[in-house]
């Protein structure tokens, strides 16, 4: 047994001691002991706990891999996530105001992807254990909205009819405006009998919509999401912000940046998370790489009626970013790229006449990389707002405001 003092948290939320030595589920300032295996401390014992250590509120925490930081106070987690953003900015010598983290409440996740597998006695569904392929049943998970928990039993029922004994299925469950929206990946190939069983399961469990490997099998209603004044029916299993609280926070920040704008480009627009709130005050051109999401956005605009003009196009912004001549008519550009960032689009923004950028990011590292390019070209990073939709995890999102004269 060796003894160590935790210096800081790593970007995955593990404690780090001198060495570096990685110690899971520990906090800065704690004195710990355990068995040293290379750079990992196992059989960990907390000798001197931190004042920020709290009892994990969830009974599944020790075995489940869904959360990394339930043993830490809310204040410490909020500061940690702000520090992750600051560290990413510092790596590129960027300085700005980093606002206090906005954190979604417990039991607010409106979407989750559960793993499910058949067993000798039936099926098991939940999240994978920490660094494990074992599925942990999370019957009273504190992350997800309680209305999403019935999806666990739905997942089991679907596994019994649609998976082999050895295969593991992935069941994405989303709360829609008319009930559970279920999208399954990794099941048996569809055939006539399976289609009938899946349609019956949709009725039995009162699902709004059921999709199997991307194909809608049955729908009992409209699996819509509300963005601004519009109702949009996204494609099955498509990306949505994890919580309504977090979505509203991100929308409010983008609206703050776009205040007074008459024409806005919404790039990586998805199904219209930002386009529709912006349409209350500005004309919007929405660009999204996924054609089905673009079609859903356009259909939502047509159905809403009475909104300002919207144009949309399906376009791969990594290969075909909007060019300076296309960008010149916009007062503000909103970009919300995936984790890889938006390097190609940023190059074109730099060459354009655009003076204001609202950058929404799920990866502080690529945000800082892209922002450094904008700043070197004359933009100022006015502020950054961390947003925590993934409570008790190491993940953080953010919005940054960039302007130039």
- pLDDT tens per residue across span 163-203: 988 889 999 999 999 999 999 999 999 999 999 999 999 99
Token digits of residue 34 = 């355990």
| Cβ proximity of 263 and 331 under 8 Å | yes
Average pLDDT value for the chain: 96
Instruction: Count H helices and E strands in the chain, helices first.
Output: 9, 23
Is residue 102 very low, low, confident or very high in pLDDT (cuts 50, 70, 90)?
very high
Q: Write down the pLDDT at residue 11.
A: 87
- pLDDT tens per residue across span 196-244: 999 999 999 999 999 999 999 999 999 999 999 999 999 999 999 999 9
Q: What is the C-alpha separation between 303 and 37, in angstroms, rounded?
A: 60
Q: Write down the pLDDT at residue 152.
A: 97
Over range 3-24, report the average pLDDT.
Answer: 92
Matching CATH topology for 79-105+240-403 and 111-221? no
Long-range contacts of 126-135 (CB under 8 A, 24+ apart): 126/64, 126/152, 127/64, 127/65, 127/66, 128/65, 129/63, 129/64, 129/65, 130/24, 130/63, 130/64, 130/65, 131/65, 132/65, 135/168
Supply the CATH classification number for the domain 79-105+240-403: 3.40.50.150
Given a cut of 90, whether residue 347 has pLDDT beyond it is yes
- For residue 295, how many other CB atoms are within 10 A of its CB? 15
- pLDDT tens per residue across span 262-307: 999 999 999 999 999 999 999 999 999 999 999 999 999 999 988 9
Q: Write down the pLDDT at residue 147.
A: 97
Over range 335-350, report the average pLDDT.
Answer: 98
| Cβ proximity of 7 and 18 under 8 Å | yes
Specify which residues 123 forms β-bridges with: 118
| Cβ proximity of 52 and 124 under 8 Å | no
Q: What is the C-alpha separation between 371 and 358, in angstroms, rounded?
A: 11
pTM of the model: 0.95
- pLDDT tens per residue across span 48-88: 999 999 999 999 998 998 999 999 999 999 999 999 999 99
Fold of 111-221: OB fold (Dihydrolipoamide Acetyltransferase, E2P) (2.40.50)
Over range 361-385, report the average pLDDT.
Answer: 98
- For residue 100, how many other CB atoms are within 10 A of its CB? 12
Buried b (16+ CB within 10 A) or exposed e, 168-189: ebebbbbbbebbbbbbbebbee
Q: What is the C-alpha separation between 132 and 80, in angstroms, rounded?
A: 25
Report the percent of the chain where pLDDT is more than 70: 100
Given a cut of 80, whether residue 131 has pLDDT beyond it is no
| Cβ proximity of 127 and 65 under 8 Å | yes
Given a cut of 90, whether residue 2 has pLDDT beyond it is no
DSSP 164: -
Nearest alpha-carbon partner for 158 in 127, 191, 199, 121: 199
What are the sequence ranges of the domains in the chain? Answer: 2-53, 79-105+240-403, 111-221
Q: Write down the pLDDT at residue 130.
A: 82
CATH number of 2-53, picked from 3.50.50.60, 2.40.50.140, 3.40.50.1100, 3.30.390.10? 2.40.50.140
Given a cut of 80, whether residue 112 has pLDDT beyond it is yes
Q: Write down the pLDDT at residue 163.
A: 93
DSSP code per residue over 319-364: TSPPPHHHHTT-SEEEE---TT--HHHHHHHHHS---EEEEEES-H
**Catalytic residue annotation:** 362
Q: Write down the pLDDT at residue 192.
A: 95
The secondary element (H helix, E strand) that includes residue 204 is helix 192-204
Over range 332-356, report the average pLDDT.
Answer: 98
Q: What is the C-alpha separation between 175 and 143, in angstroms, rounded?
A: 14
Q: What is the C-alpha separation between 42 and 250, in angstroms, rounded?
A: 39
| Cβ proximity of 114 and 149 under 8 Å | no
Token digits of residue 55 = 């009892």
């Amino acid at each position: 047994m060796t003894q160590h003092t935790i210096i800081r948290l790593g970007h995955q939320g593990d404690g780090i001691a001198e060495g570096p030595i990685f110690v899971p589920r520990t906090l800065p300032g704690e004195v710990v002991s355990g068995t040293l295996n290379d750079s990992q401390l196992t059989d960990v014992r907390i000798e001197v706990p931190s004042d920020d250590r709290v009892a994990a509120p969830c009974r599944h925490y020790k075995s489940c891999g869904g959360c990394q930081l339930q043993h830490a106070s809310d204040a410490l987690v909020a500061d940690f996530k702000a520090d992750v953003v600051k560290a990413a900015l510092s790596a590129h010598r960027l300085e700005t105001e980093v606002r206090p983290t906005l954190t979604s409440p417990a039991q607010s996740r409106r979407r989750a992807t559960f793993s499910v597998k058949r067993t000798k006695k039936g099926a098991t569904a939940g999240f994978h254990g920490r660094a494990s392929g074992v599925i942990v049943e999370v019957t009273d998970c504190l992350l997800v909205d309680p209305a999403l928990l019935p999806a666990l039993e739905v997942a089991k029922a679907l596994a019994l009819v649609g998976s082999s004994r050895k295969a593991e299925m992935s069941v994405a469950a989303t709360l829609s405006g008319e009930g559970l929206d279920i999208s399954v990946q990794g099941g048996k190939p569809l055939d006539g009998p399976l289609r009938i069983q899946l349609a019956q399961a949709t009725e039995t469990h009162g699902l709004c919509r059921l999709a199997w490997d991307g194909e809608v099998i049955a729908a009992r209603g409209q699996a819509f999401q509300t963005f601004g004044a519009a109702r949009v029916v996204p494609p099955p299993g498509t990306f949505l912000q994890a919580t309504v609280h977090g979505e509203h926070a991100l929308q409010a920040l983008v609206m703050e940046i776009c205040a007074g704008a008459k024409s806005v480009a919404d790039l990586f627009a998805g199904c219209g998370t930002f386009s529709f709130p912006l349409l209350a005050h500005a004309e919007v051109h929405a660009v999204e790489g996924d054609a089905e999401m673009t079609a859903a956005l356009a259909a939502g605009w047509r159905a809403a009626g009475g909104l300002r003009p919207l144009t949309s196009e399906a376009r791969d912004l990594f290969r075909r970013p909007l060019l300076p001549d296309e960008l010149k008519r916009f007062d503000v550009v909103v970009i919300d790229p995936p984790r890889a960032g938006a390097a190609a689009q940023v190059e074109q923004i730099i060459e354009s006449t655009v003076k204001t950028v609202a950058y929404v990011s799920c990866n502080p590292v690529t945000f800082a990389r892209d922002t450094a390019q904008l700043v070197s070209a004359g933009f100022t990073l006015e502020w950054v707002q961390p947003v925590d939709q993934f409570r008790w995890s190491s993940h953080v999102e953010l919005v940054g405001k960039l302007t130039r004269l």
